[in-house]
A and B are shown apart, each in its own frame.
Chain A
Amino acid sequence: MKIFLKILLAVALAISAGANAKEIKLLNVSYDPTRELYQDYNAAFVKYWKAKTGDDVVVSQSHGGSGKQALSVINGLQADVVTLALAYDIDAIVDKTHEIPADWKNRFPDNSAPYTSTIVFLVRKGNPKGIHDWNDLLKPNVTIVVPNPKTSGGARWAYLAAYAYALETYNHDDAKARDFIKQVYKKVPVLDSGARGSTVTFAERGIGDVLLAWENEAHLAQKEFGADKFDIVTPPLSILAEPNVAVVDKVAKKHGTTDVAKAYLEYLYSDEGQEVAARNFYRPRNKEIAEKYAANFPQLKLVTIDDEFGGWTKAQQTHFADGGVFDQIYQP
């Protein structure tokens, strides 16, 4: 009977594998502002994979607020890989689904963050409100646009960058820092669910005086809407944002895409992958390529989530969990 079952299984698997062999499909579930990055990168990877293996691979992209995207994966969205705005969102998938192993950060170099970014200010041309540093956000008549940290990874980085500034300014007086952040969010008339939504609010709908944006998103807005409309202001201090990547093991295994999914993320670290990242205004890890694009990435003091907030788990619990600091200071 055992032999019979083994034969059955082998035949069925062979039939199944044969039926699936012709097409390799990958789904990359990512966060809001990476559309353009992964459009470019996918084209490069498809070429690379074809040359290497002779196989055609079709990569589909899904974008939205990082937290929302993680929830979609938890609820069954069949992602082969996730490329999200922050480690916490990948950890959430690990905790809820076990589809990604807990040691996912160790699978690729640099904590599985192939590029970094930070939070900058996008202001109207000529910077009419004179916004140069975080304290300028509290000037009278300054209106701020930033997405909702409950749903957007970029918004969480922006919130923490502002908070880090306040902690540095007020000698780590948490009460004063909270008051600062409260004043900042009083000036936010619209909380979009994702970074791209906030760019639309600021750049297309003409709302507000400053957009707290991903560095790449600010450059993209300038490129998209014209350098004559916006200026990018890099504050003296901001936060080191490390968007992370991971293979969703169980889904990839089920789809038979484990190898290509792994190669897809590995290739982000290649010279070509790093070039694509830099061209799309993400700070590359590769030093030579970073130097080549240095003009796009001004030097500034970058605090880290680990040093300033004790890591993502703690930061999430303290600031963004239900009843956390953000809920306490923000009244819509």
Chain B
Amino acid sequence: MKLNQIWLATIAAAGFATASWAADGDVTTNSTDAGEVEALKKEIQALEQKVNGLEQQQAPSQSSDQVQELDQKVRVLERLRENDKDDAAAVAKTKPLVKLDSSGFTFSSADTNFVVGLHGLIQLDSRTFVDTPPGFKQGNDNFLLRRARPIVTGTVFHDFDFNFTPDFGGSTVQIVDAYLNYRYNQPLQLEAGKFKSPVGLEQLQSDTWLFFNERTLANNLVPNRDLGLELHGDVFGGIASYAAGVFDGTTDYNGTTANADVDNNVAFAGRVFLLPFKKSNIDALQGFGVGVGGSYQHDEKNAGNLTPGYRTDGQQTFFTYAAGVVSDGRHWRISPQGYYYYGPFGFLGEYVISDQQVSSAVVTKQDLNNTAWEISAGWVLTGEADSYNGVTPSHPFDLGKGQWGAWQVVARYAELNEDSDALANALVSAGSANEAKAWSVGLNWYLNRNIRANLSYSHTQFGDINGTANAVTSKAENVIFTRIQLAF
């Protein structure tokens, strides 16, 4: 622009000088002057064009540099922004994850190598003993907090799982589960601590998903939780599972589990369970499972190795050994077992033998072969699939939407028979029943995956009573159960 202005100023000055000079001259020269002015104008225009041309030649190189510089700056900014986004995405991937859903609270490191889960189980029950004579009750009619368990589970360093579960329900506080599980891979895992002994099918099912409030008579003969070390795993894609371990050894089922052993001996327990059609194309067979669990231990002479008592569905003790009877030698159990789930239908059954040697002041050593069995069935009326791991309502309870959750009817039958030699050898406490038979029916309402309500009725009758029946065995037990359960 400057060059252009100088040129124009110069030319204008020249034009002005010429015009001034003409004005001072003869007016008759006007036509000649006009021609000269015109010529000058043309000359100015030509010069102007030349100047513009020169400017245009210079401008591209200057503006091109500027454009390139700006272009680089923009590209750099864009790339930095791109990298920032990548960095932000990478950082997001390393942030811990927090999850809250029907399975509880889960906190996890971004790579899931470290996980902590907070879960819980609360069961508020009622038991009402009915059809009893005036002034007679086998048990108290009451509400009770059957289970109240905060459950902490987790994983550390990717391969080590843990579980710590205390129970504040019932009348005593106890540690139910406390174990560490090393997961080398799915087929090979090593578990150590306190956990369920791998024998009974019903016992191994989660407390949350039982058909009824209480397990059956058959469960009296299998071990509850024990302390020990167990190899276990699922093989062939879950078609088979196995567990085998060495434990302190425990009595036939005891609701109150110990944290230490009463003698020096150990027990071996194991179980194999097959789902032979799990991977087949036959839907109707995929939910069929069959297996066998068992245990072996050699007990010292100790009353602590004997059952504290076999219980009815109403949790009343109908059988105990006589005072002075102690364990004395081998104690083995075997439990063939199986289940079948297909669509809304579920069936579960097992047979148990608990064979234990005992002695007393008058009996040197007596082998007692106690047996029990049970069969349970359920039908989800609303059509959801039943499984060993419970029922998930398709339409969780929501009055606003007219949804009622899932409803299930259940029924079962069970028997327990104490070896008749126990009675014959005076090894049984007075009033104990050597035989019990029970049937139950019930209705379960799954409002959603977390909340469930149960209503059931159980009838238990006793036989082969030692002498005069006691308060529990003198009459058949009839109990109405209810339950409200929160599990997450």
Contacts of B245 in A (CB 8 A): 8
A295 at the interface (CB under 8 A from B): no
- Residues in B409-458 with C-beta less than 8 Å from chain A: none
Cross-chain contact A12 with B233 (CB below 8 angstroms): yes
Contacts of A51 in B (CB 8 A): none
A13 vs B266: C-alpha distance in the bound complex, in angstroms? 24
Minimum CB–CB distance from A191 to chain B (whole Å) comes to: 8
Cross-chain contact A143 with B246 (CB below 8 angstroms): no
* A12-B188 in contact given A1-B246, A19-B236 (Cβ < 8 Å): yes
Cross-chain contact A15 with B111 (CB below 8 angstroms): no
Cross-chain contact B75 with A207 (CB below 8 angstroms): yes
Contacts of B43 in A (CB 8 A): none
A254 vs B158: C-alpha distance in the bound complex, in angstroms? 13
Task: Determine the main DSSP class of B at the interface with A.
Answer: mixed
A206 vs B111: C-alpha distance in the bound complex, in angstroms? 35
The stretch of B23-31, B77-85, B346-354, B465-473 that contacts the partner chain: B77-85
Minimum CB–CB distance from A200 to chain B (whole Å) comes to: 8
Cross-chain contact B244 with A8 (CB below 8 angstroms): yes
* A1-B266 in contact given A15-B188, A19-B187, A207-B72 (Cβ < 8 Å): yes
Cross-chain contact A143 with B72 (CB below 8 angstroms): yes
B310 at the interface (CB under 8 A from A): no
Minimum CB–CB distance from A108 to chain B (whole Å) comes to: 28
A20 vs B185: C-alpha distance in the bound complex, in angstroms? 10
Minimum CB–CB distance from A136 to chain B (whole Å) comes to: 19
Interface residues on B, range: 20 to 34
* Mask of B253-287 contacts with A, CB within 8 angstroms, 1/0: 00000000000001010000000000000000000
A115 vs B236: C-alpha distance in the bound complex, in angstroms? 42
Contacts of B188 in A (CB 8 A): 12-13, 15-16
B481 at the interface (CB under 8 A from A): no
Of B83, B111, B235, B268, the residue contacting A4 (CB under 8 A) is: B268
A9 vs B188: C-alpha distance in the bound complex, in angstroms? 9
Contacts of B235 in A (CB 8 A): 15-16, 18-19
Contacts of A197 in B (CB 8 A): 83
B184 at the interface (CB under 8 A from A): yes
Cross-chain pair count, CB within 8 angstroms: 65
Minimum CB–CB distance from B73 to chain A (whole Å) comes to: 9
Least CB separation from A143: chain B residue: B72
- Residues in B55-87 with C-beta less than 8 Å from chain A: 72, 75-76, 78-80, 83, 86-87
Contacts of B375 in A (CB 8 A): none
Of A13, A15, A206, the residue contacting B75 (CB under 8 A) is: A206
Cross-chain contact A16 with B246 (CB below 8 angstroms): no
Minimum CB–CB distance from A198 to chain B (whole Å) comes to: 10
Cross-chain contact A16 with B79 (CB below 8 angstroms): no
Task: Determine the main DSSP class of A at the interface with B.
Answer: helix
A81 vs B475: C-alpha distance in the bound complex, in angstroms? 73
A167 vs B455: C-alpha distance in the bound complex, in angstroms? 87
Contacts of B185 in A (CB 8 A): 16, 19-20
Cross-chain contact A192 with B78 (CB below 8 angstroms): no
Minimum CB–CB distance from B15 to chain A (whole Å) comes to: 45
* Mask of B137-157 contacts with A, CB within 8 angstroms, 1/0: 000000000000000000001
Cross-chain contact A76 with B246 (CB below 8 angstroms): no
Contacts of B111 in A (CB 8 A): 75-76
B113 at the interface (CB under 8 A from A): yes
B242 at the interface (CB under 8 A from A): yes
Minimum CB–CB distance from A129 to chain B (whole Å) comes to: 12
Minimum CB–CB distance from A207 to chain B (whole Å) comes to: 5
A3 vs B304: C-alpha distance in the bound complex, in angstroms? 28
B231 at the interface (CB under 8 A from A): yes
Contacts of A20 in B (CB 8 A): 185, 187
A192 vs B85: C-alpha distance in the bound complex, in angstroms? 12
- Residues in A201-259 with C-beta less than 8 Å from chain B: 201, 205-208, 254
A18 vs B233: C-alpha distance in the bound complex, in angstroms? 13
A239 vs B246: C-alpha distance in the bound complex, in angstroms? 61
A4 vs B266: C-alpha distance in the bound complex, in angstroms? 12
A190 at the interface (CB under 8 A from B): yes
Least CB separation from B82: chain A residue: A205
* Mask of A10-40 contacts with B, CB within 8 angstroms, 1/0: 0111011011100000000000000000000
Least CB separation from A148: chain B residue: B83
Cross-chain contact A207 with B158 (CB below 8 angstroms): no
Contacts of B113 in A (CB 8 A): 75-76
A189 at the interface (CB under 8 A from B): yes
Cross-chain contact A201 with B158 (CB below 8 angstroms): no
Contacts of A143 in B (CB 8 A): 72
Contacts of A208 in B (CB 8 A): 72
Contacts of A207 in B (CB 8 A): 72, 75-76, 79
A128 vs B268: C-alpha distance in the bound complex, in angstroms? 82
Cross-chain contact B266 with A205 (CB below 8 angstroms): no
A18 vs B237: C-alpha distance in the bound complex, in angstroms? 12
A254 vs B183: C-alpha distance in the bound complex, in angstroms? 11
* Mask of B164-195 contacts with A, CB within 8 angstroms, 1/0: 00000000000000000000110110000000
The 7 A-B residue pairs whose C-beta atoms are closest, nearest first, are: A16-B188, A189-B76, A16-B187, A19-B187, A12-B231, A207-B75, A76-B113
Further 14 A-B residue pairs, CB within 8 A, beyond A8-B231, A76-B157? A8-B245, A9-B231, A12-B231, A15-B188, A15-B235, A16-B184, A16-B187, A16-B188, A16-B235, A76-B113, A189-B76, A193-B83, A197-B83, A207-B72
Task: Pull 28 A–B residue pairs with CB atoms less than 8 Å apart, ordered by A.
Answer: A4-B246, A4-B268, A5-B246, A8-B245, A12-B187, A12-B188, A12-B242, A15-B187, A15-B235, A15-B242, A16-B235, A19-B185, A75-B113, A76-B111, A76-B113, A76-B158, A143-B72, A189-B76, A189-B80, A190-B76, A190-B80, A190-B83, A193-B86, A205-B75, A205-B78, A205-B79, A207-B75, A207-B76
The residues of B with any CB-CB pair to A shorter than 8 Å are 72, 75-76, 78-80, 83, 86-87, 111, 113, 157-158, 184-185, 187-188, 231, 233, 235-236, 242, 244-246, 266, 268
The residues of A with any CB-CB pair to B shorter than 8 Å are 1, 4-5, 8-9, 11-13, 15-16, 18-20, 75-76, 143, 189-190, 192-193, 197, 201, 205-208, 254
